Amino acid sequence: MEHFCLPFEQVVLLVFLAGLLVAVASCDVYRLPQFSRRDIRSAQRMIGFEFSKNYRDTMYRYLGSNLRGYDTMASFKLDYQVPPALYFDPRPDGFMMPVHKDEPAWNLSENAALPLNREALAFYPVSALAVLIRSRQITSESLTRLFLDRIQTYDPSLKAVITLLEDRALSQARQADAEIAEGRYRGPLHGIPYGVKDLMALPGYPTTWGAAPYQNQMLDHTASVIERLDSAGAVLLAKLTSGSLALGDVWFGGQTRNPWDTLLGASGSSAGSAAAVAAGLCAFAIGTETLGSIVAPSARCGVTGLRPTYGRVSRYGVMTLSWTMDKVGPICRDARDCALVLDAIRGEDGRDRTVEHAPFAFHAGRDPKSFRVGYLKSAFEKDTTRAGKNNLAALEAFRQMGVSLQEVSLPEGFPFSAFDIILRAESGAFFDDLIRSGKVDLLEEQHRGSRANSLRQSRFIPAPEYLLANRHRKALIEAMHALMKNFDVVLAPPAGSEQNLITNLTGHPALALPTGWDRRNLPSSITLLGNLYGEAAILELGWIYQKKTAFQDTPPPLFAVPARK
């Protein structure tokens, strides 16, 4: 029997080639993708390109490799607190952080008196409640019980509360009373009952994000903003409703109602926070904003809402919708209350790296003539809503206070229709597990404008387009800075311009103030825009306006406290 033998050199070569074939076959670039070249031809139309057949062929295996990489990432689980290794900076080129000492002048009255009907305290501002508690005319426990009773009475029709924290609240209130009795007064929020939007983590209680897939979610850490308010001695009453995953006013328990007309929604997504303050269910509340979620419900419910500068307040322990657009801020009765709360929750915590150390000092007695104020004249003139006349009257009120208004226009020549992909791409990344698991189908709304639909389509946003949108955003930041550096405050109506989109993209602060009521007895509102880290100016001017007009002092009739004879 003859044996066939190859020379040694050929054996080595064959072994080498066999190994090479195995290596090539295992390389992602050379493995056949699980889609066809025809799929590439169809898909490119969604991103506005028309590559030739030859180029599509050369891309084929690389696109398959990309897809396998995506699948590999999906198998590695991330904690929801992990942000991208990229941080948005709203500061324009050459920006100098304001420099002054943090020495506020609150001008709190020492003459606050108890009403004949104690329930009327539900509509007192924090500034007055603070004096009553500090002077021990009322206890924190009695005030907390008052608000808890009102929640039990009115929330079934309002749907503003997701989780009531009665035992925790009463424990905090008793602790506050004991400390104050011993002379250990922590400041103006000590003993004041409040609520938080249920995007904020608190151990031992559900953090539902307003959405059915998360209604039993329990997180083991405390949001920084709650920690700060605990340190200030405030009393957390309840976790308040958020529109499902921070969109609108619809959550898994229904729709949060407007206290001025319970047939209407409260707007969103900080719906519960705004509605609860307006209806006298808490003294103040904490909301979040990505694209109008503090200022919109504040305007709809007739309360005062502050969207702080991006990076002013830590978002640690708060659900992410957009890493580069989310902000946390207060919703209160008036601008001075917003300043009191902001002072307690602002500043670095070592856990949210976007937060800057920036000064803040509110001065209640500032001369209105000292403000440099612009206004969006064309936007006010275009505002044909029922509230338009009220906002024109607000402009006149500022003039009568001695404020000189200068006409200004917002930056133009930007691809405003494209900027929404920033929010949608980032939210799609944060909720990757929700989309891949199919639980996105369980969200409360499934229509074209729903959060569920937005999350699904986010998977079709190309990375280069997201980065290009952020390059245009950088140019918008520079243009907005060129406008705002000439003013302390710019006045704007809620509608009629791109100001809400622009300022949320650029990180500028905004304050929503009530300006009266329309023919249907629904609140109207004006917006005060400020410079980066310039919240003090918009709060000071807003407070001056509110002292002159007092729209914030009128409660919704359905929730008002009848006077005692």
Angle between helices 388-400 and 535-549 (to 10 degrees): 100
Give which of 136, 240, 148, 233 is closest to 192, Cα–Cα.
Answer: 233
59: how many CB neighbours lie within 10 A of its CB? 16
Residues of 525-549 as b/e, b for ≥16 C-beta within 10 angstroms? bbbbbbbbbbbbbbbbbbbbbbeeb
Is 306 within 8 Å of 328 (Cβ atoms)?
A: no
How far CA 324 is from CA of 121, 194, 251, 290, 504, in Å, comes to 39, 27, 24, 9, 9
- What's the token pair of residue 439? 């639980």
- What's the token pair of residue 315? 């978002």
Consecutive H or E run containing 474: helix 463-484
CA distance 299 to 297: 5
Give which of 294, 270, 286 is closest to 234, Cα–Cα.
Answer: 286
Q: Which residues are catalytic?
A: 197, 269, 293
Give which of 297, 288, 156, 177 is closest to 225, Cα–Cα.
Answer: 288
